[in-house]
Amino acid sequence: MAILGVVLVVALAGGYMWLRSYLHSEAFRKFLAAEMGRAANVEAVFQPFRWDGLAVQTEGIEAKGEELISFIRAERIATEVGFGGVGRGVWEIKATRIHKLELGLDFTAATEGAEDGIDDQTIDMHEDKKGWVPKDVELESLEISDFSLLAMTEEGPVSATGMSVLLEPASGKNSYKVYVDGGDLKTSVEWLPPLKIEKLSGRYADGDVFITEAEVSAWSNGRINGAGEWNADNEIYSFEGQASGLKCDEILDETWSRKLQGDVGAAFSVNNLSGEFGASGDLTIRNGVLTAMPVLDILAAYADTRRFRTIQLSEAHVNWRYANGVTSLTHLVMASDGLMRLEGDVTVRGNAIDGRLRLGIVPGLLANLPGAETDVFVAGERGLLWTPIHITGTLDDPEEDLSERLIIAAGFRILEGLPEGAEKVVELTKSVLGENSGEVIDKGKKIIKEGEKVIDDASGIIKGLLGD
């Protein structure tokens, strides 16, 4: 019995020494490179290992791929190999630390056939392994001091740099908890500034990434919180969240930041579930102030009041959606109690704008203008007078059809003997729109002149059409 014990001790010692010798060999370094290549579908090369017992260090890793993962670069890696998983056929890689890691992803690369290639490589490699030498690698934990992610998407480049990352084991095979602190996030969205990653936590499991909590700061005092997921096999992703602490003058362009001010809150969703990038959500403005809007300036001139020049908004919100280069604004509402309410939908393609809106004003504001509150505006809900407005042109130079209709209405009123009222509308429109308002004004003057010529013969007919 004693002899058996001695034989067992010698066998274990011999096995330990053989395993240790194998770890220190070139074969083990190539094995790890092959395992990494199999898992990430890349060609990986490790720099020479420096061993101290079971602890090992290397200056870095270089890996290149032609599919989703385009490159991996790591510097100053330190870890320790354990024998506790040998009985399960795995090498235990304990407490790995990486000083710097750069990961490149290419979402535009073709992936057809990649999965079959990985399976064949896995089978061949494992068939070459004989005996009881472990055939797999099990990562216990990973700490990265400086992690950078560089991704190429259909919408342009995205980068996240300067992150500190910690991976810890979670329940389930190939499953890890992920914690990220710090870092800067840049996207290809022109109006979105660099974002600061405050913290991020989630879970990785066999190619699926789940973000359970993310907090990002933006602009001066903005905060974005959200959660989402990404599947590496089909490259489907989705992310939902809320934004707060934003200012209109921070997220709007120079032109519109002068027209609209206030505090912005939003909920949003970003995904490619339809096969293309898409985003949607809702946006609310509090303490809003609306100024220098052409339509409102015209009303201010017509009503001879400054109440439309600068409007304190009691309500301002909109639902939005972006897909295929088109931004759709629906259920748009901008309202000021006791003055006006603007509702409707707007579509933006590039810089071109097309909107169908309804403008409601309190009765009496345009009472001194011929035909305004009878032919252009009609009584409706909320005790307001309503009229439709068609917005066209560009974001930098929007156009509206309200001025023309007010002039036309005044022109008809000429037939009732009020030419001076119509002339006033034309002059007011010119003062608001400037010298470039010739087309609208010319239409109004033409109607006025034609009305004066036929006033005697057509007066009765026009009155009948207008229901007077």
Instruction: Encode pLDDT of 115-165 as tens digits.
Output: 444 344 333 444 444 456 777 878 888 999 999 999 998 778 999 999 999
- ∠ CA 56-49-161, nearest 5°, is 80
Q: How confident is the model at residue 11 (pLDDT cuts 50, 70, 90)?
A: very low
Q: What's the half-sphere exposure (Cβ side, CA atoms, 13 Å) at 78?
A: 8
CA–CA separation, 346 and 428 (whole Å): 28
Helices (H) and strands (E) in the chain, counts: 10, 24
Q: Are 246 and 264 in contact (CB under 8 A)?
A: yes
Does position 57 have pLDDT exceeding 90, yes or no? Answer: yes
Q: Which residue has the higher pLDDT, 255 or 181?
A: 181
95-104, 365-374, 446-455: the lowest-pLDDT one: 446-455
Q: How confident is the model at residue 234 (pLDDT cuts 50, 70, 90)?
A: confident
DSSP-derived 3-state class of residue 348: strand
Q: Which residue has the higher pLDDT, 259 or 6?
A: 259
Q: How confident is the model at residue 1 (pLDDT cuts 50, 70, 90)?
A: very low
> Hey, how many other C-beta atoms are within 10 angstroms of the C-beta on 10?
10
pTM confidence score:
0.72
Q: Which pLDDT score, from 0 to 100, does residue 385 have?
A: 95
Q: Which residue has the higher pLDDT, 216 or 32?
A: 216
CA–CA separation, 20 and 11 (whole Å): 14
Q: How confident is the model at residue 438 (pLDDT cuts 50, 70, 90)?
A: low
Does position 262 have pLDDT exceeding 80, yes or no? Answer: yes
CA–CA separation, 331 and 317 (whole Å): 8
Q: Which pLDDT score, from 0 to 100, does residue 403 have?
A: 82
Does position 232 have pLDDT exceeding 80, yes or no? Answer: no
Does position 96 have pLDDT exceeding 60, yes or no? Answer: yes
Q: What is the mean pLDDT of residues 306-320?
A: 91
Q: Which pLDDT score, from 0 to 100, does residue 191 have?
A: 72
Q: Which pLDDT score, from 0 to 100, does residue 142 have?
A: 92
Q: How confident is the model at residue 266 (pLDDT cuts 50, 70, 90)?
A: very high
Q: Which residue has the higher pLDDT, 111 or 398?
A: 398
Q: What is the mean pLDDT of residues 298-316?
A: 84
> Hey, how many other C-beta atoms are within 10 angstroms of the C-beta on 436?
9
Q: What is the mean pLDDT of residues 79-100?
A: 86
Q: Which residue has the higher pLDDT, 80 or 456?
A: 80
Does position 377 have pLDDT exceeding 90, yes or no? Answer: yes
Q: How confident is the model at residue 298 (pLDDT cuts 50, 70, 90)?
A: confident
Q: Which pLDDT score, from 0 to 100, does residue 112 have?
A: 44
CA–CA separation, 102 and 315 (whole Å): 47
Residue of 245, 247, 251 lying closest to 215 (CA atoms)? 245
CA–CA separation, 214 and 433 (whole Å): 48
Q: Which residue has the higher pLDDT, 87 or 362?
A: 362
Q: Which pLDDT score, from 0 to 100, does residue 356 have?
A: 96
DSSP-derived 3-state class of residue 25: coil
Q: Which residue is associated with the tokens 């095979």?
A: 173
Q: Which pLDDT score, from 0 to 100, does residue 428 have?
A: 55
Q: Which pLDDT score, from 0 to 100, does residue 6 have?
A: 33
Question: Per mean pLDDT, which of 26-30, 161-165, 365-369, 393-397 is the most reliable?
Answer: 161-165
Q: Which residue has the higher pLDDT, 466 or 339?
A: 339
Q: Are 238 and 270 in contact (CB under 8 A)?
A: yes
CA–CA separation, 133 and 35 (whole Å): 14
Q: Which residue has the higher pLDDT, 44 or 172?
A: 44
Q: How confident is the model at residue 429 (pLDDT cuts 50, 70, 90)?
A: low
Does position 192 have pLDDT exceeding 50, yes or no? Answer: yes
All residues at 6 or more sequence positions from 179 whose CB lies less than 8 Å from its CB, including other chains: 165, 166, 167, 168, 199, 200, 201
Tokens of 344: 């409707």
Q: Which pLDDT score, from 0 to 100, does residue 88 have?
A: 79
Length of the chain: 468
All residues at 6 or more sequence positions from 428 whose CB lies less than 8 Å from its CB, including other chains: 298, 301, 302
Q: What is the mean pLDDT of residues 322-348?
A: 94
Q: What is the mean pLDDT of residues 297-307?
A: 77
CA–CA separation, 209 and 204 (whole Å): 5
CA–CA separation, 129 and 149 (whole Å): 34
CA–CA separation, 308 and 302 (whole Å): 10
Q: Which pLDDT score, from 0 to 100, does residue 413 have?
A: 60
Beta strand pairing call for 378-379 and 340-349: unpaired
Q: What is the mean pLDDT of residues 165-186?
A: 90
